[in-house]
Amino acid sequence: MSISKTPVFLFCMVLLSNCAQEPQEQQTINKELHQNNKLPLFSLDDYLTEDPTLEHYVDSIYSTLDDKALVAQLIMPAVGRYGQTLETINGLIKDQLIGGILMLNGTKEEFTGWIKDFNQSNIKYGNLPFLYSADAEPSLVNRKIMGSALVKKANEIDSIKEVIAVANTISKDLNDIGINYNFSPVVDMSPNKTVGYRSFGKNPENIIPWSDAFIKATQENNIIATAKHFPGHGLVSGDTHKSLQVIKGELKEISNYPPLIANGVLSIMVAHIAIEGNKEFDTNGLPSTCSKKVVTELLREKMEYKGIIVTDAMNMGGVRNVPNNSVKAIAAGCDILLMPANARKAHKEIWEHYKTGNKEFNSSVNESAKRIIRMKVCLGLI
């Protein structure tokens, strides 16, 4: 079925054409459109609920997408310094191969203009609206988004009141730009030099309550928050940007996640960390991102997580040399493939595997696409 001919999709495009509006103005427009079309108005608070109306609405959008478009929902390349060129991203949008974009290292003004242009391109080419993400952690945001309001680094924050204020400050900038997905907070312990200063782990007892406060404030601003780096990067000595790191034996940091899951964190990022010497969750030399034991059996099933699971950047040293890593990560149960080295190739590999008719793999793709569509609905994009 052609998505451009369906009433639901035409409705989506009307919403998308207004994406550059200020958040409050956009919410008013969305509400009026929902009222005029007799459609319910959903929010991020609805995402984790059991709502038959929401599920029916998501299914109605999902049913308009062909295999190629379903796979596209799962792929999120980066644009900006260290990301892909605008020419490459525009080609991916035109060919309907992606479902979101990471805004990576640029200025507030650049990102605002690019997102406005990407939204117009999505209307032109008949794509669903995008999830736009950023590594807007307190410790990184002023470097990742130049021109953003100055905030303290995570390990410099002194109180939970200040955590909430920082989250609100960051969220205001993200809303101004059009970014709706923040890869923050870091919930790792502090010993690791790569991630330690990026978490609230200076005092270990603060990690859970302060992370929870950051998540709640972010999501109250209509932005998806992300707990990372599952199953735990703080007690691993090395850097997954450079090479695969290993947790030996007990998973000491996963205890940080159940309270955050119970309190409604909408996204969790999985790290490129192998597990060995653990009878239940040994990854057999693979990074956790490519391990069904970790992503599906531990996070999705044992920990009963219902939100979006996103990989850490797929061009990092910890996963880059894994053969067919795109297919492996999706088969493991990840919903979003972040920053693949070659997004066009990743789409092709996943799509070709999908077309073989493997029921288990296809079910993973379909369920991931539905989770992403559901999130876009709850954000007010659709």
pLDDT in tens, 56-115: 999 999 999 999 999 999 999 999 999 999 999 999 999 999 999 999 999 999 999 999
**Placement of tokens 């061009």 in the chain:** 315
**pLDDT score at 219:** 98
Task: Name the pairing type of β-strands 106-107 and 78-79.
Answer: unpaired
**pLDDT score at 333:** 98
* Dihedral sign from CA coordinates of 352, 356, 361, 365: positive
pLDDT band, very low/low/confident/very high, at 317 (cuts 50, 70, 90):
confident
Higher pLDDT, 184 or 39: 184
pLDDT band, very low/low/confident/very high, at 339 (cuts 50, 70, 90):
very high
Count Cα neighbours of 145 within 13 Å in the Cβ-side half-sphere: 29
pLDDT band, very low/low/confident/very high, at 39 (cuts 50, 70, 90):
low
Which residues face 199 on adjacent strands? 186
**pLDDT score at 13:** 45
pLDDT band, very low/low/confident/very high, at 311 (cuts 50, 70, 90):
very high
The CA-based angle 271-178-166, given to 5 degrees, is: 65
pLDDT digits (tens, 9 = 90+) for 7-31: 344 444 444 444 444 445 545 544 5
Least confident of 132-146, 199-213, 349-363: 199-213
Write down the CATH number for the domain with range 75-345. Answer: 3.20.20.300
**pLDDT score at 37:** 55
**pLDDT score at 254:** 94
Average pLDDT over residues 275-296: 95
**pLDDT score at 273:** 92
pTM (2 d.p.): 0.89
pLDDT band, very low/low/confident/very high, at 301 (cuts 50, 70, 90):
very high
Across the chain, mean pLDDT equals 89
Whether 316 has a pLDDT exceeding 80, the answer reads: yes
Backbone angles phi and psi of 273, in degrees to 5: -125, 125
**% of the chain surpassing 70 pLDDT:** 87
Average pLDDT over residues 160-167: 98
* Dihedral sign from CA coordinates of 124, 125, 126, 128: negative
Whether 35 has a pLDDT exceeding 80, the answer reads: no
pLDDT band, very low/low/confident/very high, at 234 (cuts 50, 70, 90):
confident
pLDDT band, very low/low/confident/very high, at 249 (cuts 50, 70, 90):
confident
The CA–CA distances, whole Å, from 36 to 181, 219, 276, 309, 379 equal 28, 27, 56, 34, 19
* Dihedral sign from CA coordinates of 283, 288, 289, 294: positive
Residues 195, 212: Cα–Cα separation, whole Å: 18
Least confident of 2-16, 27-41, 304-318, 358-372: 2-16
**pLDDT score at 246:** 86
Average pLDDT over residues 192-201: 73
**pLDDT score at 191:** 62
Whether 209 has a pLDDT exceeding 60, the answer reads: yes
Residues 228, 206: Cα–Cα separation, whole Å: 16
